[in-house]
Amino acid sequence: MTKIVSLAKRRGFIYPGSEIYGGLKGTWDYGPLGSELKFNIKQEWWKTMVKNRDDVVGMSTSILMNPRVWEASGHMTGFNDPLIECKTCHQRFKADQEDVIAEHENWHKEKKEKVDWTKVKKFNLLVETKIGVVEGEKNTVYLRGEITQGVHVNFKNVLSSSRLKIPFGIAQIGKAFRNEITPGNFTYRSIEFEQMELQYYVKPDKKESMKQYEFWKNLRMDWYKSLGINSDNLRFREHEKSELAHYAKEAWDIEYKAPFGWKECEGIHHRGDWDLARHQEFSGQDMSYFDEETGKKYIPWVIETSGGVDRAALFFLIDAYSEEDDRIILKLNPKLAPYKVAVFPLLANKPQLVKKAREIYEMLKSPIPQFPNYPITVAWDDRGNIGKRYYSQDEIGTPFCITVDFESLEKDDVTVRDRDTMKQVRIRVEKLINYIKEKIC
């Protein structure tokens, strides 16, 4: 993890939040490469979950919502962590993190200090804020603790403004906030994070709902594998009855084998009719669905897939990190790589090489109608010797490097170097776009 954290900051993936002021624990800023990586992850998710399907539509809902939403959803009473405080140093911990607590106790014992704990208290994770224009008369609202509820409260709006029929899904990507007791493990557990979720509405039928549940569970696992995560580093884990969330009938996690242990990457939840039934009760609005085929009304059940964009980015970085001989390589899937291609003039002090390389750079950057879903993000580098430029691009995950040399001026071709194998081939400039696209699509 030390190497990942160092690389992330050094190469512009992830920086500590508010660093020049001493930081703010549990917050992170994504740099030029990190923001590209996150964007690519979201694009791939959206393409798989929305664009490629006829039964799913997208939404983007508000971060601030009427506080009654959180009463109805159960977050005001059920969205809690068990909190204990060390009476010696006053640090606070989640009471169910036995390994962390044991480590803390050992730290005090090594200093020959007595360790004593407060009683376990419930700690609500919702983040409060105030809205209003007059001090003293502002209203308390909450930054959303999950993006789920924005979809459910708009269930009837989506129905009335579309022609969707059960089963169908509503997908969303957006920020959520949790007042974490112990944020940590780099970006794995943060106060502010981004989620990518699907709420899939089905008939209230056990057999049909479990069929859909298994489908989405396996589709989500396959998505991570298809984008390069090593299968040996992924597994399913079923939640014990004692750890089920207040809304869940059943829950499985997709877990990743991180340097800090097996950790949740994404959750697949059978939410039953909890959400719509509760919002119907608290709002007084009819949240039922009318089935035209049977002539009956019912409250749909919900199958949810809930993944973290930040967690996915972290796990893709960890899984891609490799050291070979004297070089560091990020073997990111080309679809996720911040830059797909880097273009170099062999010698930066030769105007004719720089001019030719610039022409190729601009050509690759231009929109390509036949490949609208995969624009080529291109890096330019003319610093130092060619070997250092190659290694620099390997370290940020660029799959291909294109070098313009003196032979390029004569034959109108270039050298294309593969990141993972370091093999080089000569490609005619006129065939370059198709060559690159075949490799990254």
The pLDDT tens digits for 322-355 are 999 899 999 999 999 999 999 999 999 999 999 9
Mean pLDDT calculated for residue range 87-99: 73
Q: Determine contact, residues 416/400, Cβ cutoff 8 Å.
A: yes
Element (DSSP H or E) covering residue 68: helix 67-73
Distances (CA, A) of 420 to 255, 341, 399: 26, 13, 7
Closest to 339 (Cα-Cα) out of 37, 81, 84: 37
Element (DSSP H or E) covering residue 261: strand 261-272
pLDDT at 104: 79
Least confident of 189-203, 250-264, 280-294, 360-374: 360-374
Mean pLDDT calculated for residue range 376-389: 93
Mean pLDDT score across all residues of the chain = 92
Position 209 pLDDT exceeds 80: yes
Question: In the chain, what are the domain boundaries?
Answer: 2-64+141-319, 339-440
Alpha carbon 386 to its chain centroid, in Å, reads 34
Q: What angle do CA 310, 75, 255 make, to 5 degrees?
A: 35
Position 153 pLDDT exceeds 80: yes
Q: What is the pLDDT of residues 45-79, one digit of tens each?
A: 999 999 999 999 999 999 999 999 999 998 877 66
Q: What is the pLDDT of residues 291-334, one digit of tens each?
A: 998 999 999 999 999 999 999 999 999 999 999 989 999 999 99
Q: Assign residue 250 a region: left if phi > 0, alpha if psi is -120 to 50, beta otherwise?
A: beta
Which of 108-122, 167-181, 368-382 reaches the highest mean pLDDT?
167-181
pLDDT at 196: 98
pLDDT at 81: 65
Is the link from the previous residue into 167 a cis peptide, with omega within 30 of 0?
yes
Q: Determine contact, residues 229/235, Cβ cutoff 8 Å.
A: no
Q: What top-level class would CATH report for the domain 339-440?
A: alpha beta
Q: Provide the pLDDT confidence category of residue 241 given band limits of 50, 70 and 90.
A: confident
Q: Could you tell me the CATH superfamily of domain 2-64+141-319? A: Bira Bifunctional Protein; Domain 2 (3.30.930.10)
Residue in this structure with the two tokens 């579309």, named with its chain if needed: 162
Q: Provide the pLDDT confidence category of residue 254 given band limits of 50, 70 and 90.
A: very high
DSSP label at 286? -
Q: What sign has the CA pseudo-torsion 115, 119, 124, 128? A: negative
